[in-house]
A and B are shown apart, each in its own frame.
Chain A
C-alpha cells in the first residue's frame, strides 16, 4: 500500500516536472513581455506594461516578414496539400512490390535535415536557371518561389501522412458503387472521395500552413535576399534582444491556445452530436436526446471561459497602460537613489579610510594609493590595477571588503565605462549580454553621469 503510494507520488512529480519543462520556458518568456525592463527578464521586476506590444507593432521589418510568411504559407498549402493527396492516393494503388520503395522515397524528406533540403533546392533551381540562361529577375532566383518549393518538398510528406491515416478507413466499395451506377471517374472522385477526405484536407492544410510558418532551416537558404518572419526573428534574436520578441511570443502562444481550445470544443460538439444522433436512431426518449444535444450546442463552461478571457484581456490592457509612466519614473528614481546611496557610502568610507591611513606608513598598505587614485573618477574604480590592489589588500577594517563589490553592482553608472574598457577579466553579467548594459545606459547615463561628475569630488 505504501509502496503504491510512493510510486504514485513519484509518477505525479515526474509528470509535473515534465510539464514544467514543457511550459516553464514559454510562461517565463511570456511574462518578460510585460516587464518594462529593456532586457527580457523577470527577476528584478520593474513595471507592468504593454508598451512592448506597441514596439512590436511598429517594427516594420518584422511586420513585412510576417506578411511574407503568410503569403508563403498560403502558397505552400496550395502546393503541398494536392501533392500530399496525390501521393497518398498513389500509395493505395501501387503494387505490393513497389510500395516500400515508393513509401521510402516520399517519406524521406521528413528525415532529411532541413538545411540539406534548402541547399539542394537552391542549387537545383540555380543550375536550371544557368542552363536556361535565365535572368536574375526570373523565378529561378526568386526567394518566394524557391521557399514555397523547398518547403513543399517535406510538407507534402506531412500532409500525405494525414491523408494516409484517413484513407485507411475508406471503403473502396463506395467508389465502385458510384462507378457501377454510371458515374465517370472524375465524378466518383468529386462526389465520393473528396467529401470523405474533407476533414483530412482541412487538417492537412492547417498542418501545412503552420509547418511553413514556423520553418527556419530550409527557409534561411531558399529565401535568398528576401525575409520571412522566422529569418527576421532569428537575426533579431542573434544580434540584439528586447522584450518585443517576447510580446510576439505571447501573441503566438495565445493564438495557439485559442486554436487548441476551439479544436477541442469542436471535437466535443461533434461527438455529442453523434451521440445524440445514435440515441435518436435507437429510439431513446426525447429527454435523453435533448440532453445529449445540449452538450453539442451550448456549453456554459465555454461561455464562462470566453468571459474570463475577455475580462483578463481588459485587465491586462488596463494595468499595462495606466500608471506605467509613474511607475517607470519611480523605478528610475529608485535606482538613482540606490546608486547615489552607494556612492555616498563609498565616499564616506573612503574619507574615513584616508583619515585612518594618514598616520600609518604607506608601505604597510599598498592598496591605499590605488584606492585614492580610483576615487578621482568613478570610471577609474574598474581600472585593472584596482582589482589587483584589492586582491593583495590586507584589510584591517574589514568594512571596506564589500565596498568595491557594491560598486561593481550593475546599477552603478560608472560600471559601463569601467566594464567596456578596463575590465576584461571580470565575468560580470553585462559582458555576456551587451544589450542589457545598453538598457542600463539608456536609463541612466546622461543625467546620472553628469550629476556624479558634478557632485563628485
Chain B
C-alpha cells in the first residue's frame, strides 16, 4: 500500500511524462546496466564452459568447478592448492594495499597544504595542475613510466652518472616501475577526498591546539587525522579498489615474471577462452575487495555512510 501511495505522490509531483521518463531512465540504468549484468556474471561463474550447441541442454548445469580450480588447480595438479593463481591473488592484494598506503602518505601533506595554507589564485593553479596529468590517457601514463624506468631511461642514466650503479638496473623486473606507475595513476582520487575532509575542519581547532603547545605532528595525529577519517577512508577505498582492479598498468609495467590477478582474468577471457572460469575469478576479486574494505572500515571504526560525502 505504501509503495502505491509513494508512486502516486511521485507522479503527482512530476507529471505523467516526466515521471515515466525518470523512472524509465533510472530503471534501465539500475536493472540493465548495474544489477542484471552482475547477476548474470554470478550465474555464469557457476556453469561449465560449454560450446554454444550445448547451452541450455542437459549438460548445462550448475557447478563449483571454476571456484575449485582457483583453489586447487587442475585435477592432476601435484600441489594441494593452486599455488600459482593464489599467490598472484595474494600478491595483487598486498601490492594494492602498499600502493594505497604510498598514495595516502604522499597526498596527505599536499591535501593539507591545499586546504589550509594555499591561497586564492595560487591554490587554483595547484588544483589545475593536479588535474591536468589525469586527462592524459592511462596507457600513455604507464608508457611514460616505462620510458622513465627503462634500461636506457633517465633514472638509470642518472644513477650511473652519479656512480650509484655501474650497470643499468632493471626497474621493470623489480616491479618498482609498476608501483610508481600505479601510485601515480590514483593520486587524484586520494587527494580530493582528503582535501574535502580537511577543508571542512575549523582552522580554529588547529590554532587552539597550537596555542596549547602541541607540536605539529601531534596536531595532525590528534586533531586533523581523526577529523579527516571519513575522507581518508573514501580515498583509500577508491585507490585500493581501483589498483587491485587495474589492468593497463600491470600489462605495460609489470615484469615478465610477475602477474596481476586481473591479467589472469584477462587471459581466461582471451587466450584461455574459458569465460565461466574468468567470471568466477572476477567474482572472487570483487567479493574479496569489498570484504577487505568493509573489514578495514570496521577496524578503523568508520561508518559506510561517511564515505562519499
Contacts and interface: CB of A to CB of B under 8 A. Distances in A.
B273 interface: no
Contacts of B113: 11, 15
Interface in B249-280: 251-252, 262, 265-266, 269, 275, 278-279
B266 A220 contact: yes
B30 A106 contact: yes
Contact of B262 (A115, A124, A229): A115
Nearest to A82: B25
A284 interface: no
A204 interface: no
A29 B201 CA distance: 39
B135 to A, nearest CB: 4
What band does the interface of chain A fall in when counting residues whose beta carbon is under 8 Å from B? 35 or more
A337 B128 CA distance: 49
Given A237-B146, A241-B143, A41 B152 contact: yes
Contacts of A119: 41, 265, 269, 278-279, 282
Contacts of B143: 29, 233, 237, 241, 245-246, 249
Contact of B26 (A90, A104, A111, A259): A90
Given A153-B34, A234-B252, A256-B135, A107 B148 contact: no
A363 interface: no
A61 interface: no
A87 B29 contact: yes
A87 B109 contact: no
B279 A123 contact: yes
B136 A153 contact: no
A132 interface: no
Secondary structure of the B contact surface, majority rule: helix
B252 A26 contact: no
Contacts of A259: 135
Interface stretch (B64-72, B74-82, B219-227, B239-247): B239-247
Contacts of B241: 111-113
A217 B244 CA distance: 12
B238 interface: yes
Interface in B32-90: 33-38, 40-41, 44, 52, 55-56
Contacts of B152: 39, 41, 43-44, 429, 433, 436
A83 B28 contact: yes
Contact of A234 (B6, B139, B275): B139
Contact of A111 (B56, B238, B251): B238
Q: Pick the most buried of B30, B135, B148, B187: most chain A CB atoms within 10 A of its CB.
A: B135
Contact of B247 (A185, A217, A233, A264): A217
Contacts of A454: none
A429 to B, nearest CB: 4
A412 interface: no
Nearest to A113: B245
Interface string A144-186: 0000010011001000000000000000000000000000111
A114 B285 CA distance: 12
Interface string B1-41: 00000100010011111100110011011100111111011
A427 B238 CA distance: 38
Contacts of B139: 216, 230, 233-234, 237
Contact of A185 (B14, B56, B130, B262): B14
Given A41-B154, A217-B245, A429-B152, 15 more contacts: A11-B113, A21-B106, A25-B144, A28-B144, A93-B14, A103-B308, A114-B247, A123-B279, A124-B41, A220-B266, A233-B137, A237-B143, A241-B147, A432-B173, A436-B152
Nearest 6 A/B pairs, CB to CB: A113-B245, A185-B15, A86-B25, A120-B37, A429-B151, A25-B144
20 contacts: A40-B147, A42-B154, A43-B153, A86-B21, A89-B22, A109-B34, A113-B241, A113-B286, A119-B269, A119-B279, A123-B275, A123-B279, A130-B56, A152-B29, A156-B29, A210-B135, A216-B138, A217-B248, A245-B140, A259-B135
